Amino acid sequence: MFNLDQFKRSLGIMKKDIRIYYLKGPVIIFGFMMPLFLFLAFFIGSRNLSPEFLISGLIGMTVFFTATAVSPIIAPWEAQVQTLERLISTPISITTIILGDMMASFIFGIIIPLLPIGLGLLMGVGIIHPLTLILGLVLAAACFSSFGLILSAPPSNIPSNIMMISSLVRFPLVFISGIFIPLETMPPWGQIIALFSPLTYFTDLVRYTLQGTSYFPVLWDFIILLVFTVLFFALAVGLHKRTMSKRI
């Protein structure tokens, strides 16, 4: 039974994750610098896309890559150094562990994106709907953090194996989510594939906050992101309950 006591233990796991895994250079490198280089490469080659369109894509990528930068490798890393066995031997549920890992990713998922938002302001990009941007950022960070924990579910104790799987999943999502190509200009098959990516809806939401227009209704973007968040977290908990013991 998940209760207040278990939640406090989730906060302890969150603090542990932040101290050990997140206060490191790779979070900045993979969370912001990599999306920035992709953004610059596309920005230099683009001629007809507005700064608002490009910055919204950079914000979407930054939240996505930051929230999934470390969460996929926490479980295999702890299993490799044999701290996972001590953790699960304590009176703590797997749901508590997953929630703690998710909250650590969530915090950085809402902090690091302040960098591209600041870059956009320096470029003269205004925020038309700031409250919508804040709410969307919070929901997307929770969604992508839960998604990252699904990627860590395979019972491997070798972080590099999980990182390879993570990269194979994350990078295609970036290119099918309307970040570099407007959804309305995609072929019909591309628009259908984009519907299955949560990054599509967050990027669309950010474009609404910066441009004032969106491909989907704003309420629809929020609803789909919420559904993805609940689904991803439940799936992450269920998968880890099956595979956690196989890491010992």
* Nearest Cα residue to 218 out of 142, 131, 143, 145: 131
Interacting residues of 26 by C-beta distance below 8 A, sequence separation 6+ = 69, 70
Interacting residues of 62 by C-beta distance below 8 A, sequence separation 6+ = 31, 32, 35, 36, 112, 113, 115, 116
Taking 50 as the pLDDT cut, the residues of the chain under it are: none
Taking the C-alpha atoms of residue 39 and residue 54, their distance in angstroms, rounded to an integer, is: 7
Query: Considering the chain, what percentage of its residues have pLDDT values greater than 90?
Result: 31
- The pLDDT score that the predictor gives to residue 75 is 78
Q: Can you say whether the dihedral through the CA atoms of 210, 215, 220, 226 is positive or negative?
A: negative
- The pLDDT score that the predictor gives to residue 147 is 94
- The pLDDT score that the predictor gives to residue 23 is 64
- The pLDDT score that the predictor gives to residue 215 is 93
- The pLDDT score that the predictor gives to residue 132 is 95
pLDDT per position as a tens digit, 152-193: 888 877 777 777 888 888 888 888 998 888 888 889 999 999
What DSSP string runs through the chain? Answer: ---HHHHHHHHHHHHHHIIIIISSHHHHIIIIIHHHHHHHHHHHH-SS--HHHHHHHHHHHHHHHHHTSSHHHHHHHHHHTT-HHHHHTSS--HHHHHHHHHHHHHHHHHHTTHHHHHHHHHTT---S-HHHHHHHHHHHHHHHHHHHHHHT-S--S-HHHHHHHHHHHHHHHHHHTTSSS-GGGS-HHHHHHHTT-HHHHHHHHHHHHHHS--SS-HHHHHHHHHHHHHHHHHHHHHHHHHHGGGG-
The four Cα atoms 127, 128, 131, 132 give a dihedral, to 10 degrees, of -100
Q: Which residue has the tokens 């709907």?
A: 129
- The pLDDT score that the predictor gives to residue 198 is 95
- The pLDDT score that the predictor gives to residue 197 is 94
Q: Which domain holds residue 154?
A: 4-247
Domain count, the chain: 1
